[in-house]
Copies of this chain bind each other. A is one copy, B any other.
C-alpha cells in the first residue's frame, strides 16, 4: 500500500527521556534565569539537608558557600550538612538520576517529595557550565568518607560516575555537595539572603551559616534546641477524597481477599465500625473479593467514604510551626518595623484527595509598614519559603478573594491584594503539597486548601479587627477617664477650699460619668532558672523551653453605679503551661483558656487577677485576649463578648 501522511509523521515519533525533557525545560525546574537558578540550586540542597537531619533526629548545622572566582557568570555553590550521610552505592542515584528518591512514596510532611530537586541542580550545572558535581558523604565516624564526581547521561537518565574515591573528611557524618552553575550572583544575592533568612525563621532548630562570595559570613543561629515534632510516616492513605483510579489500582494489587480486611488494613482511620458502616451504605458484601468488584461498586464505595463520618487522619504525619512560633518568628523578622501587633493561627488538619494538610496564617500590622503599598505576602510550604510565582499561588488567590475593606485595609472593589501596613504569613503543611510545577514555587488551586487558607486568614483578620476595635474603644474611654479623674478632683478641691468645706466624695460622680467596667492588662517577663521552674510549676514538661515566665496582671475596675458580677475568660496559647494563678479560676482548659467567676465588684471597687504562663519566650505573649460573660459587653473596656468555647 502507498505511504500516507500519517506514515511520514510517524517517523518522527520517539520516546523522550525525562532528563532530556528537563534539559530542554529547565525553567520548569526553577532554572529559567540565572538569578532564580542561583536560589533554586541552594534551596534544593538545603531542603535535602534539613529533611535528612530531621529524619535522623539531628539538629541541623548547615553551611552554604557561594564562590564567584571562576568564569564570568559562573557560581560555585557548596552546601554542607551534619546529616546522616548517604550510603555509598546510592550517592550516584540520588544526585545523578531524576525521579529517584525516598520521600515520594512516604506519606509524611517533608520538604522534598518528588525525587527531582537535587538531581535537577546537577543537571543544570552540567548544562550551563559543562562541569561535574562533586559529592562527599560520610555515614559514620568509623567509616571513611566517599567522594564522587558525577554527571548525568541525559539520553538515558542515568548517573555517569567520573570519579569515585575514598577521601578524608573531619566531620563525623554528613553530606557535602559542590556544584558550579551559571548564576547571577549580583542580582541573586539578595534573594538568596532572603531565602536563607526565611528558611531559618520557619526552621528555628537549624543553624545556617551563609558565606558570601566576598567572604562575608552570616550566621543564622538556631533559636531552639528542640527538633520539630518528628513526623510519623502514615503507612496508609486516608479514604476521604481518594481518587477512583487509585482505589481500583489498590484493590487490584491487594493481597487481602475480603473487602472488609482490605479496607481496614490498607486505609487509615478505618476501624471495625467505620468499615461496617461503609460497606452497609455502599450496599456491598463485607466478604466480597476486592479484586472482583465492578467499577460501579467501586463508585458506591467511594460515595460511602464521603457519607460515613470517618475519623480525620492522624495528624502526627504533619508538623505545623504553631501559633507561638509563628508570632515569635514574625516578631523577630519585623523588629525594625516595630509593628503594632502580630496575630497568628494554626487551623486543625484537613484532607484533600486523601492527603492530610494543615494551614497556618499570621498578620503583622502597623508600625513602620507603608500604609500605601500592597501588603507583603510571606508564603511557606512544608517549612520551605516560596519566593517566586506569587501570582500563581493559591494563597494569593485565597487572600485576594477576601473583602479586606471590612478589616480596614484598602482594596479596590473588594478583590485583589489589599493595600495597607501589613505583612501576611501563610504556611501550608501537607504530606503532599500540590505544587504547580517541579520548581515548587506555588501551590495549585485545590479548593479544599483554598478554603482552609481563607478560614485561617479570616481568623487572623478577626483578631486584627478585635484588636483595632479594642484599641479604639480604650483610647476614647481613657481620654474621658483621665479628664474626669484629673479635672473633677481639682474642681472639687478648689470649690471646697473656696467654700471652706471638706472635699466631697467624687466616686459616685465619676462612676456616673464613666459608666464602664475597665480592664487593664499588664504583662511582664521574668527570667528563671530551669531548676526553679521545675519545682514551682505543675505539669512541667522536660522537653519544653522554660527560660521565661510570662506574668499577666489584670486590673478590673468597676466604674458603674451598681455592683458588677460576671465571668472573665483569658485565652492562652496552645503551647503555654499555666503556672501560678490567683484568684482561683473556675476552669482551666489547657492550651485554650482560663475562666474566672469573679465575685461581685462594688462601684469604684477594684479587683486584681494574676496568672503566670511558662513554655513561652520573652515577648511571645504580649497582650491578653479577654472575654466576658454575664455582663453587657458594651459596658466593658478591654474585653469582648464571650461567644462560647
Assuming the contacts A13-B101, A25-B114, A391-B391, asked whether A130 and B87 have C-beta atoms less than 8 A apart, the reply is: no
Taken together as a complex, chains A and B put the C-alpha atoms of A144 and B602 apart, in Å, by 99
Bound CA–CA A13/B93 (angstroms): 9
A436 touches B13 (CB 8 A): no
Q: Say how far A248's CB is from chain B's closest CB, in angstroms.
A: 5
CA distance A295 to B151 in the complex (A): 14
Determine whether A349 belongs to the interface, using a CB cutoff of 8 Å to chain B: no
Binds B, one of A270-278, A438-446, A473-481, A572-580: A438-446
Contact between chains at B27 and A434 (CB < 8 Å): yes
Binds B, one of A218-226, A239-247, A314-322, A488-496: A239-247
A21 lies within 8 A of chain B by Cβ: yes
0/1 per residue, A231-251, Cβ < 8 Å to B?
A: 000000000000111111100
Inter-subunit contact A13/B391 (CB<8 Å): no
Contact assessment for B10 and A90 in the assembled complex, using a CB-CB cutoff below 8 Å: yes
Which residues on B sit within 8 Å (CB–CB) of A545? none
Tell me the bound Cα distance from A374 to B413 in angstroms.
11
Cβ-defined contact, B55 with A445, below 8 A: no
For A249, give the chain B residue with the smallest CB separation. Answer: B154
- Note all chain B residues with C-beta closer than 8 A to A419: 412
Q: A634 CA to B628 CA in the complex, in Å?
A: 75
Does A261 sit at the interface, judged by CB under 8 A?
no
- Residues of the B chain whose Cβ atoms lie less than 8 Å from the Cβ of A102: 9-10, 12-14
Q: Which stretch from A121-129, A283-291, A339-347, A611-619 is at the chain B interface?
A: A121-129
Is there contact, CB below 8 Å, between B139 and A244? no
Determine the distance from Cα of A86 to Cα of B8 in the docked complex, in whole angstroms. Answer: 10
The residue in chain B whose Cβ has the minimal distance to the Cβ of A373 is: B413
The CA of A56 and the CA of B12, in the complex, are separated in Å by 14
Most-contacted residue by chain B among A52, A391, A445 (CB, 10 A): A391
- Interface 1/0 per residue, A423-463 and B, CB below 8 Å: 00000000010111111001011110000000000000000
Distance between Cα atoms of A311 and B87 in the complex (Å): 51
A44-83 interface mask toward B, CB cutoff 8 Å, 1 = contact, 0 = none?
0000000010011000000000000001000000000000
* CB within 8 Å for A21 and B114 given contacts A392-B436, A444-B32: yes
Q: Is A534 in contact with chain B by the CB < 8 A criterion?
A: no
A128 interface neighbour in B182, B243, B413, Cβ under 8 Å: B243
Contact of A389 among B93, B100, B436 (CB under 8 A): B436
Inter-chain CA distance A14–B1, complex, in Å, is 47
The CA of A154 and the CA of B243, in the complex, are separated in Å by 14
Give Cα distance in the complex from A355 to B488, angstroms: 83
Given A32-B434, A392-B436, A99-B299 contact (CB < 8 Å): no
CB distance from A122 to the nearest CB of B (A): 11
With an 8 A cutoff between CB atoms, is A396 at the interface? yes
Residues on B with C-beta less than 8 A from A244 are: 127-130, 182
A130-B295 contact, Cβ under 8 Å, with A87-B10, A114-B25 = yes
Q: Is A5 in the interface zone, CB < 8 Å from B?
A: yes
**A17 interface hit (Cβ, 8 Å):** yes
On whether the beta carbons of B27 and A246 are closer than 8 Å, the reply is no
Whether the pair B436, A27 counts as a contact (CB closer than 8 A) is yes
- Do residues B13 and A90 form an inter-chain contact, with CB atoms below 8 A? yes
Residue of chain B at shortest CB distance from A131? B295
A4 at the interface (CB under 8 A from B): yes
Q: How far is the CA of A249 from the CA of B23 in the complex (A)?
A: 12
Q: Is A7 an interface residue (CB 8 A)?
A: yes
CB neighbours (8 Å) of A173 from chain B are: 4, 6
Query: Residues 137-152 of chain A: 1 if any B CB is under 8 Å from the residue's CB, otherwise 0?
Result: 1011011000000000
Q: Are B85 and A6 in contact (CB under 8 A)?
A: yes
Does B432 lie within 8 Å of A99, measured CB to CB? no
Q: Are A18 and B18 in contact (CB under 8 A)?
A: yes
**Are the CB atoms of B437 and A28 closer together than 8 Å?**
yes
Interface residues of A in 353-401 (CB under 8 A from B): 373-374, 389-393, 396
- In Å, the complex CA distance between A15 and B447 comes to 31
Confirm or deny: A532 has a beta carbon within 8 angstroms of a beta carbon on chain B.
Answer: no
**Is A486 part of the contact surface with B, judged by Cβ < 8 Å?**
no
- With beta carbons under 8 angstroms apart, the residue of B33, B87, B114 that contacts A446 is B33
Q: Would A33 and B104 count as touching, CB distance under 8 A?
A: no
Q: Is the CB of B446 within 8 A of A27?
A: yes
CB within 8 Å for A126 and B436 given contacts A12-B105, A104-B24, A391-B390: no
Chain B residues within an 8 Å CB radius of A127:
243-246
Are A100 and B15 touching (Cβ within 8 A)? yes
Residue of A2, A33, A52, A295 with most partner-chain B CB within 10 A: A33
CB neighbours of A128 from chain B (8 A): 243-245
Q: Tell whether, in the assembled complex, residue B143 and residue A1 are in contact, meaning their CB atoms are under 8 Å apart.
A: yes
Q: Could you tell me the distance between the alpha carbons of A447 and B187 in the complex, rounded to whole angstroms?
A: 13
Task: Contact check, B87 vs A27: say whether CB atoms are below 8 A apart.
Answer: no
A16 contact from B20, B101, B392, Cβ within 8 A: B101
Q: Closest Cβ of chain B: how far from A210's Cβ, in Å?
A: 25
Complex CA distance for A435 and B438, rounded to whole angstroms:
12
Check if B392 sits within 8 Å of A9, measured CB to CB.
Answer: no
Q: Is A97 in contact with chain B by the CB < 8 A criterion?
A: yes
A25–B15 alpha-carbon span in the complex (Å):
21
Is A533 in contact with chain B by the CB < 8 A criterion?
A: no
Bound-complex Cα distance A295 to B447 (A): 50
Q: Does A523 make an interface contact (CB < 8 A)? A: no
Q: List 29 A-B contacts (CB under 8 A).
A: A1-B143, A4-B84, A5-B84, A6-B86, A6-B139, A9-B56, A10-B87, A12-B105, A13-B100, A13-B101, A14-B101, A14-B102, A14-B104, A15-B97, A16-B101, A18-B18, A24-B104, A25-B435, A28-B437, A32-B434, A129-B244, A129-B245, A130-B244, A130-B245, A130-B299, A389-B392, A391-B396, A392-B392, A392-B393
